[in-house]
Amino acid sequence: MKKHRLKLVLGSLLAIFVTAGMLFNLATNSHADDTRTVTIKSLKMSVYYDDADQAVAMPDSDYTITYADANGNSVKVATGETDANGAITDVTVDVPSDVSIIKFNYTLGTAERGYVLRSTGRKYQFTYARSIPSNNTIDYTTSSKFGAVGNDDLYATNYMATRINNYYVQSVNELTSAIDEAHEHLSGISTFENEPINIYYERGYHLNESNAFYRNGHDGSGTPDIVLADRTSLSSFTDSYLMANVMHEWTHWNLYRTANLPSGSYTSHYGYNTNFKVSYKEGLALFAGDMFRYDYDMSSTDTKVQTDSLNGVNRLFGKSTNMTVEQVLYDLLDVNSNGEDENFYVTERYLDDDTLTEKQIDKINFGVIYAEMMQSKAQSLSEFLQYIENKYVLTNSDKTKFEKVLSVNGLSSTGDFTLDEDGNALTSD
Ligand SMILES: [Ca+2]
Ligand SMILES: [Ca+2]
């Protein structure tokens, strides 16, 4: 009995020692002398290829912050998303006091938007290591090139992917703001709901092929994706080209997932498509890309449908082509036509705000047209035009203006194409 009690007492004492030891350890770990608190006020890194002045930021993109522990293992201390300027801002992390270097790892994309991917499917990630300054505060802007000495294509690839990521962010932001502004003025327009999709690009990958949206994935994986094909000369990738083509392919994705519009091929934007659905789904993507690249102003080419001539033949007027569809959509958007004498625009009856500039109205019109292309689920230009007529053409005056858009582009009163490839009347009646 006595022995048993002694055992209990010893056991209790042991438990107290163990507990005290744990407390002591906890106290040691959180002791200020053994950690340093690093404040990242702002860390903005941009990526370039051969000219640092051309460095491109990584906005709205994933980042992680890590350090290497005593065994060389990477320890993650923060994750987040860069701001609209590509900076990591207002982050505070604790690292062991003997750590002198902190690493910032950027990924081109986010789970919500999608990623820019290498041909292997790997994400583009760039790591920038920085010594922790003595005041433990980082407020720094820098640029860097990423690749491997002797592999020029890798530097070029990483820079191009960064540019694509940048225009991908801009495309999402431009469309989202256009539809949001339209939604503010027109209750019948829903706000934009984004869905992620990945964009593949790599130097030499799909070289000089068409850019494309693949509903089943470019490799047949079943997951929709986009491939931006490489070009022999990097000079092909102007800002304007990337704006138009990123928005173009991403628009195919938006219309596929909302209106079930297919992917599909065509020979040229001026070529005749016997399948009128092809003209519509390509023409609307062409329209979206050009509205982005030209900031809603195609006034200099507003009469393209009326004046086209190749060996004396007008390829566009009244005919099923991608370009015809694009130009009709532009006429629904532009407040003032340039030389073709139509003056319809889709929101004329809905905007009662006199303070809006013409440019703001153009952008709202873009938001309306894009949102309605998704909401209407129209499969052809005539279906879309009839939908627009039912919803936006309210008075006799509107009707006269709307019919003028149809007639100046060679369309019938139902918005149908009227001529075949050779210019003979289509007999659908
Ligand atoms: Ca026009
Ligand atoms: Ca117009």
Domain residues for the domain of 111 are 36-144
Q: In angstroms, rounded to a whole number, what is the distance separating the alpha carbons of residues 228 and 238? A: 14
Range 302-314 burial, b when 16+ CB lie within 10 A, else e: bbbbbebeeeeeb
Q: 158 with 51, same domain?
A: no
Contact in structure between 226 and 220 (CB atoms under 8 Å) = no
Question: Which ligand has the minimum distance to the alpha carbon of residue 347?
Answer: 2
Nearest to 75 by CA among 83, 84, 88, 65: 65
Q: SS3 of 280, please? A: helix
413: in domain = no
Nearest to 400 by CA among 352, 341, 350, 358: 341
Q: In angstroms, rounded to a whole number, what is the distance separating the alpha carbons of residues 428 and 325? A: 19
421: in domain = no
How far is ligand 1, taken at its centre, from the CA of residue 424, in Å? Answer: 22
**Tens digits of residue pLDDT in 261-303:** 986 788 899 999 999 999 999 999 999 999 999 999 999 999 9
Q: 199 with 308, same domain?
A: yes
95: in domain = yes
Nearest to 289 by CA among 260, 321, 253, 235: 253
How far is ligand 1, taken at its centre, from the CA of residue 262, in Å? Answer: 26
Q: 243 with 267, same domain?
A: yes
Other C-beta atoms lying within 10 Å of the C-beta of residue 42: 15
Q: 226 with 368, same domain?
A: yes
Q: 219 with 165, same domain?
A: yes
Q: In angstroms, rounded to a whole number, what is the distance separating the alpha carbons of residues 288 and 244? A: 8
Task: Say how many Å lie between the first and final Cα of the chain, rounded.
Answer: 110
Question: Which ligand has the minimum distance to the alpha carbon of residue 332?
Answer: 2
Domain endpoint, select from 117, 144, 171: 144
How far is ligand 2, taken at its centre, from the CA of residue 264, in Å? Answer: 29
2: in domain = no
The residue type found at 270 is Y
Contact in structure between 361 and 182 (CB atoms under 8 Å) = no
14: in domain = no
Q: 166 with 231, same domain?
A: yes
323 Rama class: left (phi>0) / alpha (psi -120 to 50) / beta: alpha
**Angle of the 322-333 helix axis to the 381-392 helix axis, nearest 10:** 10
Global confidence as pTM: 0.91
How far is ligand 2, taken at its centre, from the CA of residue 225, in Å? Answer: 34
- Tokens in use for 104? 């910032």
> Alpha-carbon dihedral of residues 376, 381, 385, 388, nearest 10 degrees?
30
Q: 94 with 167, same domain?
A: no
How far is ligand 1, taken at its centre, from the CA of residue 337, in Å? Answer: 7
Q: 129 with 191, same domain?
A: no
Tokens 């173009």 sit on residue = 248
**Tens digits of residue pLDDT in 325-337:** 999 999 999 998 8
Structural domains in the chain (count): 2
Worst-scoring range by mean pLDDT, 3-12, 229-238, 266-275, 381-390?
3-12
Q: What pLDDT, on a 0 to 100 scale, did the predictor assign at position 8? A: 44
Q: What pLDDT, on a 0 to 100 scale, did the predictor assign at position 15? A: 42
Q: 229 with 348, same domain?
A: yes
Q: 165 with 51, same domain?
A: no
Q: Spell out where 167-315 has E strands.
A: 198-200, 212-214, 225-227
Contact in structure between 65 and 71 (CB atoms under 8 Å) = no
How far is ligand 2, taken at its centre, from the CA of residue 379, in Å? Answer: 22
What mean pLDDT value characterizes the chain?
92
How far is ligand 2, taken at its centre, from the CA of residue 42, in Å? Answer: 45
Q: What is the CATH number of the domain that holds 44?
A: 2.60.40.1120
Other C-beta atoms lying within 10 Å of the C-beta of residue 231: 16
Helix, strand, coil shares of the chain, percent, nearest 5, are 40, 20, 40
Nearest to 368 by CA among 398, 341, 345, 402: 345
**Tens digits of residue pLDDT in 75-115:** 999 999 999 999 999 999 999 999 999 999 999 999 999 99
Question: Which ligand has the minimum distance to the alpha carbon of residue 342?
Answer: 2
21: in domain = no
Q: What pLDDT, on a 0 to 100 scale, did the predictor assign at position 33? A: 66
How far is ligand 1, taken at its centre, from the CA of residue 302, in Å? Answer: 4
Q: SS3 of 129, please? A: strand
Other C-beta atoms lying within 10 Å of the C-beta of residue 421: 14
Q: 43 with 176, same domain?
A: no
At 344, the pLDDT band (50, 70, 90 cuts) reads very high
Q: 49 with 160, same domain?
A: no
